[in-house]
Amino acid sequence: MGNSSGRRRGRAGIPTRTDVLWSWAVGILLVGALVLDFRAVGTERVEETGELRAVVIDQLSPRYPNDVFRSATTASLQAVGLPVDVFEGEEVDVGLYRSLASRRPGVVLIRSHSGILVLEGEAEEHVTALFTNEAYSETSHVAEQLDERLLIVRAFEGEGELSFGISPEFIDESMGGRLPRSIVIIAGCSCLGRTDLAEAFVARGASVVVSWDGSVTLEHVDEATALLVERFFRDGMTLENAVVAAMVKYGEDPEFGALMTYFPFAAGRYTAAELLGLPD
């Protein structure tokens, strides 16, 4: 397909690798380097009606199930009073992402193939994409294919099976409604190698996106993400301290060197309850 019609996004507001590594070493909160337009979370309560829930999207489960990850993260989310809805297998389709905001997700935990794709055209463009389990079809979602809100992806090089990928422009333009200050955690490759996908989620109403700045191995990402969720939700740590705890225990990815990080940087000083505007 040709060049994406979406706007280009930069890396402003994301911690650098030096920031993250320094945090591990000294174990303190970084103050400053705040994103100027970040909302003053924690100063007001959620005003929308309806119960906040946790939505777990496990695109990997048909081929790579992990019951330990599922039970650990579910228990941590339930510990703060969030009912947990799990979507896996064929349920992880384009429609799920289109209707995501309508599910009132205080937390969106995504375990999925993902990556930075190169769109070729008059000029190359790099776009971060989440993979679905909806098989690709030329006759489905035609308008969204033509303007590259939906992309054609395959999980591994050499695989014949193609599926639809969710682009930042899909979150911008095709997702209905507003996210209720959601905390989005993506256990997948390279979703913060660029900030385009994270910016789209934040523009849609999310408070923060937590993910990795490069490719990751499955065992490593599962273990580190489960500990992050435990420290951040069950133990009530600030986001920065929860990320530091996960990285101190598990470190960078042993094969690819990726680090867990988050966007925007200012969110690091808040707890999950403060980001969601929940009562203390």
Please state the length of the chain.
280
* 236, two tokens: 């009530």
pLDDT at 8: 34
The answer to whether 274 and 40 are in contact (CB under 8 A) is no
**Residue 130, in any domain of the structure:** no
**Residue 35, in any domain of the structure:** no
**Residue 190, in any domain of the structure:** yes
- Which residues span the domain enclosing 211? 17-30+50-113+178-276
Tens-level pLDDT at each residue, the chain (280 residues)? 333 333 333 333 445 554 445 444 444 333 333 333 444 444 344 444 469 999 999 999 999 999 999 999 999 999 999 999 999 999 999 999 999 999 999 999 999 999 999 987 767 789 999 999 999 999 999 999 999 999 999 876 667 789 999 999 999 999 999 999 999 999 999 999 999 999 999 999 999 999 999 999 999 999 999 999 999 999 999 999 999 999 999 999 999 999 999 999 999 999 999 999 887 6
pLDDT at 156: 65
Sheet holding 53-58, edge to edge: 84-88, 53-58, 105-111, 183-187, 208-212, 260-263
Distance CA 267, CA 165 (A): 27
**Residue 140, in any domain of the structure:** no
* 232, two tokens: 């951040």
pLDDT at 171: 98
- Start-to-end CA distance of the chain, whole Å, equals 49
How far from the centroid of its chain's Cα atoms is residue 206's Cα?
10
Distance CA 260, CA 224 (A): 8
**Residue 67, in any domain of the structure:** yes
pLDDT at 124: 79
**Residue 36, in any domain of the structure:** no
| SS3 category, 97 | helix
**Residue 159, in any domain of the structure:** no
Beta-bridge partners for 85: 55
Strand runs labelled E in the chain: 53-58, 84-88, 105-111, 114-119, 125-135, 150-153, 163-166, 183-187, 208-212, 260-263
pLDDT at 76: 98
Which CATH number covers residue 207?
3.40.50.1460
**Residue 163, in any domain of the structure:** no
* 210, two tokens: 């937590």
Which one, of 179, 169, 182, 209, lies nearest residue 193 by Cα?
Answer: 209
The answer to whether 247 and 259 are in contact (CB under 8 A) is yes
**Residue 160: exposed, middle, or buried by beta-carbon count in 10 A (0-12, 13-18, 19+)?**
exposed
Distances (CA, A) of 249 to 95, 225, 227, 243, 244: 37, 11, 9, 10, 9
Which residue has 């992309």 as its token pair?
A: 151
Backbone torsion region of residue 170, taken as left when φ is above 0, otherwise alpha when ψ lies between -120 and 50, otherwise beta = alpha
* Number of domains within the chain: 1
Which one, of 224, 191, 233, lies nearest residue 209 by Cα?
Answer: 191
